[in-house]
């Protein structure tokens, strides 16, 4: 019903050395790349500026690419590990940079964990924040447990069911982004 691709930036939410979320982000970027109904772009929190003793308009200006991307985005895809049952500080700092820009846009979460529980606790921890930002979290989640073994030597998923789960998740994210886009246009 809409020929213009939706714009759904991917936010990689950790700057830690050795982060396993990076491989997940690359995998999802590739999947998004196959879709003609979505355009995307990677935002890596390593590239953000978080000045100590600095907040507000000036800091937003220093992160203008992120601000401009969210402004024109129809949705977001957050790829993030779970640290101590919560979201990484850098992810929160990145999200806290903006406010109105998020309103009535869809968000999907890909949760990454080195352990068996798939980052499920980070997802629950993040929900109140996303809601306050006006983002609409879709009810599906991509869980990546035991992240060190997700991909084989050539980057192919070890779990044959992953491709299908990713497809259903992205379909839902795109659906919600499209529905909310139509809604924003009707206001």
| Chain residues in the site for a second copy (CB under 8 A) | 1, 15-18, 46, 50, 52-56, 83-96, 99, 103, 116-118, 120-121, 124-129, 131-134, 136-137, 139, 143, 145, 175-176, 178-180, 182-183, 186-187
Nearest distance in Å: CB 31, a second copy: 21
Cα-based torsion angle of the residue sequence 102, 104, 105, 110 in order, rounded to the nearest 10 degrees: 90
Which CB, 30 or 134, lies closer to a second copy? 134
Which CB, 30 or 55, lies closer to a second copy? 55
Contact 154, 145 (CB under 8 A): no
Which CB, 41 or 124, lies closer to a second copy? 124
Nearest distance in Å: CB 154, a second copy: 26
Buried residues in 134-168 as b, exposed as e (16+ CB within 10 A):
ebbbbeebbebbebeebbeeeeeeeeeebeeebee
């Amino acid at each position: 019903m809409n020929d213009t691709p939706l714009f759904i930036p991917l936010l990689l939410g950790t700057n830690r050395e050795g982060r396993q979320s990076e491989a997940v982000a690359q995998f999802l970027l590739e999947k998004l790349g196959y879709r003609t109904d979505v355009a995307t772009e990677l935002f890596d929190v390593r590239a953000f500026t978080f000045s100590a003793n600095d907040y507000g308009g000036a800091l937003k200006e220093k992160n203008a690419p992120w601000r401009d991307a969210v402004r024109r985005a129809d949705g977001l895809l957050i790829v993030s590990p779970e640290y101590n049952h919560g979201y990484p500080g850098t992810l929160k700092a990145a999200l806290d940079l903006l406010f109105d820009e998020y309103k009535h846009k869809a968000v999907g979460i890909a949760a990454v964990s080195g352990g068996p529980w798939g980052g499920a606790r980070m997802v629950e921890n993040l929900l109140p924040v996303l809601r306050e930002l006006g983002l609409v979290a879709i009810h599906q989640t991509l869980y990546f447990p035991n992240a060190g073994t997700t991909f084989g030597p050539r980057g192919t998923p070890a779990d044959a069911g992953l491709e299908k789960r990713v497809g259903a998740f992205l379909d839902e994210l795109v659906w919600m982004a499209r529905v909310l886009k139509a809604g924003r246009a009707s206001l």
